[in-house]
């Protein structure tokens, strides 16, 4: 574990900040490096210029963690001077902590007791963590859409340096509504503030036995039926909301030529098998699961009476989690390997973590690609985007469709995991894993993308939030 430090030598501060030292669960916390002296031009988020003359006020009114240590590295000072400076620093930090606690209490009191004026233009507050792979972009896309629609927005991206008790920025902004992805964040809100929560993953608050506190103006959306069922068990209402796309990022680009090419973008799931690789019965179970998957392209989920997942659980006395590891591997790695082994005229490109170690896929591996425009441009250059998975409506499906590249989607419709308007199927080409080669031997069918873009752009989500607010305020 690292300490947040105040450096008297800016050069040393820069050196340590460059190390990007992290600790905690999933390396969430990032070391904060404050420094005295001349300001350094740098893009490092954890390198904070704070002249020592402004130490007390700067930290007391700040929103980042308070340093616990002073550093003299690189300075020629006597031990006596160091002792005196450190003593004064520690006394100042004690004062800072006292003031910070008082201010944080004031910010909380203001948030809890100050109802926003709904006659004013609407203000929306969103936050996200830079440590999340996808969720930060979901929140940012919502924020960008709100701004493009003319709303006042405060979006805060945390880097693991923040004082989590500080509500300074939010309280000063005084939002009419907050929007959160995968978290409730409602304990500090005034009853009048709307709070829209979009659960996209099985978070602990959904999976444990705890009944969370839900306010009257908390409105919860869920990505899939399974999450809705978890909330139903807790007596909490929710509304299904599929993935959304930012149409300013994922779009058609006439300047990019479409080639006879099929691309897959996503990481390998080989790591899931690592959890069970030492089980002596794995090969036999995998063989059974593969036989079903090859025939049907899916394993029916537990909501079906004739669920193949239940069949495998009972036949081999295994948990659902165990079977899910195999199923996820089949839907991802097996499907990608299948694509790389069929006889086709299509050029194949695979992007994502983990594929360079797969001897079947490695010859087609083209590297790692970051979220956003780069992904869309790759899809722009291809005829098909390969979309194997447990749902029809996945982020990958929408990324392809919005980029106006045909999503080639594993046909899992009979598993009934999705809820969607069937009109979106005019934008999709379905395949069964056993027929993949046959599908790619045919001429691609022209697709229409107007409806799917209308239904699954972030404007749709924003408009739904506004609709709810108007209904309750009228």
pLDDT in tens, 431-461: 999 999 999 999 999 999 999 999 999 999 9
The pairs formed by 185-189 with CB atoms below 8 angstroms and a separation of 24 or more are 185/127, 186/213, 186/214, 186/215, 186/218, 187/213, 188/108, 188/111, 188/112, 189/111, 189/112, 189/215
Contacts of 59 (CB under 8 A, 6+ apart): 50, 66, 67, 93, 96, 100
| Full set of structural domains in the chain with CATH | 5-112 (no CATH), 123-244 (3.40.50), 261-456 (3.40.50)
Residue whose pair of structure tokens reads 């970051």 in the numeric block = 370
Structure tokens at 104: 């944080």
Q: What is the mean pLDDT of residues 103-128?
A: 97
- 394, burial (CB in 10 Å: exposed 0-12, middle 13-18, buried 19+): buried
Q: What is the pLDDT of residue 131?
A: 83
Mean pLDDT of 277-295: 95
CA distance 68 to 222: 41
pLDDT at 201 over 90: no
Average pLDDT over residues 160-168: 96
Q: What is the pLDDT of residue 26?
A: 78
pLDDT of 244 over the 80 cut = yes
Which residues touch 187 (CB under 8 Å, ≥6 apart)? Answer: 213
pLDDT value for 375:
96
Mean of per-residue pLDDT scores for the chain: 94
Q: State residue 25's pLDDT score.
A: 82
- Is pLDDT of 242 > 90? no
Mean pLDDT (whole number) for 290-307: 93
Is the model's pLDDT at 134 over the cut of 80?
A: no
pLDDT tens-digit map of 365-421? 999 998 789 999 999 999 999 999 998 988 899 999 999 999 999 999 999 877 788
- Given a cut of 90, is residue 303 above it in pLDDT? no
Give me the pLDDT at residue 46, please: 98
Q: Does residue 350 sit in helix, strand or coil?
A: strand
Mean pLDDT of 154-168: 96
Least confident of 129-133, 304-308, 464-468: 129-133
Task: Tell me the H-state helices in 194-307.
Answer: 204-207, 225-233, 270-274, 282-296
For the residues 101-119, what does the mean pLDDT come to? 96
Structure tokens at 319: 């948990």
CB of 154 closer than 8 Å to CB of 144: no
Q: Distance between CA 376 and CA 389 in Å, rounded? A: 19
Say what the pLDDT of residue 202 is.
85
Rounded CA separation 309/93 (Å): 57
Q: What is the number of H-type helices and E-type strands within the chain?
A: 17, 18
CA distance 293 to 300: 10
Look at 35 and 208; give whichever has higher pLDDT.
35
Q: What is the CA radius of gyration of the chain?
A: 26
Mean pLDDT of 192-201: 96
Task: Kindly give the pairing relationship between strand 22-23 and strand 29-30.
Answer: antiparallel
pLDDT, position 132: 80
Confirm whether pTM is higher than 0.75.
Answer: yes
Contacts of 331 (CB under 8 A, 6+ apart): 269, 388, 389, 390, 410
pLDDT at 280 over 80: yes
What φ, ψ does residue 162 adopt, rounded to 5°?
-80, 150
What Å distances lie between residue 413 and 242, 278, 392, 432, CA to CA?
15, 33, 7, 11
What is the average pLDDT across 334-356?
97
């Amino acid at each position: 574990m690292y300490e947040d430090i105040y450096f008297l030598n800016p050069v040393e501060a820069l050196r340590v900040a460059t190390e990007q030292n992290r600790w905690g669960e999933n390396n969430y916390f990032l070391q904060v490096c404050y420094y005295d002296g001349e300001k350094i031009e740098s893009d490092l988020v954890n390198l904070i210029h704070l002249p020592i003359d402004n130490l007390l006020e700067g930290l007391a009114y700040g929103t980042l963690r308070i340093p616990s240590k002073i550093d003299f590295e690189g300075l020629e000072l006597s031990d006596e001077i160091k002792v005196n400076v450190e003593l004064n620093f520690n006394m100042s930090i004690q004062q800072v902590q006292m003031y910070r606690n008082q201010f944080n209490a004031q910010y909380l009191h203001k948030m809890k007791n100050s109802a926003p004026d709904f006659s004013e233009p609407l203000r929306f507050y969103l936050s996200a963590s830079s440590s999340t792979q996808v969720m930060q972009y979901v929140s940012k896309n919502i924020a960008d859409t709100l701004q493009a629609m003319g709303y006042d927005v405060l979006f805060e991206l945390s880097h693991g340096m923040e004082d989590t008790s500080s509500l300074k920025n939010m309280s000063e902004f005084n939002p009419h509504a907050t929007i959160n992805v995968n978290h409730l964040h409602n304990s500090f809100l005034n009853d009048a503030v709307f709070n829209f929560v979009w659960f996209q993953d099985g978070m602990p608050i959904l999976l444990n036995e705890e009944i969370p506190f839900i306010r009257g103006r908390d409105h919860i959306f869920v990505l899939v039926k399974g999450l809705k069922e978890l909330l139903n068990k807790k007596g909490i209402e929710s509304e299904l909301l599929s993935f959304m796309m930012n149409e300013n990022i994922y779009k058609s680009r006439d300047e990019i030529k479409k080639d006879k090419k099929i691309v897959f973008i996503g990481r390998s799931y080989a790591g899931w098998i690592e959890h069970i690789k030492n089980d002596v019965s794995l090969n036999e179970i995998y063989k059974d699961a593969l036989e079903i998957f090859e025939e049907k392209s899916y394993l029916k989920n537990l909501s079906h009476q004739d669920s193949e997942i239940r069949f495998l659980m009972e036949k081999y006395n295994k948990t659902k989690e165990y079977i899910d590891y195999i199923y996820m591997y089949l839907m991802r790695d097996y499907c990608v390997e299948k694509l790389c082994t069929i006889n086709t005229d299509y050029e194949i490109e695979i992007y994502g973590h983990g594929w360079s170690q797969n001897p079947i896929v490695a010859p087609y591996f083209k590297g790692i690609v970051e979220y956003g425009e780069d992904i869309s441009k790759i899809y722009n250059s291809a005829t098909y985007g390969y979309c194997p998975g447990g749902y029809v409506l996945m982020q990958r499906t929408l990324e392809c469709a919005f980029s106006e590249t045909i999503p080639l989607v594993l046909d899992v419709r009979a598993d009934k995991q999705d809820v969607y308007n069937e009109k979106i199927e005019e934008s999709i080409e379905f395949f069964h894993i056993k027929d993949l080669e046959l599908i790619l031997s045919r001429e691609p069918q022209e697709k229409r993308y107007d409806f799917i873009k209308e239904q699954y752009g972030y404007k749709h989500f924003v408009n739904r939030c506004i609709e709810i607010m108007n209904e309750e305020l009228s």
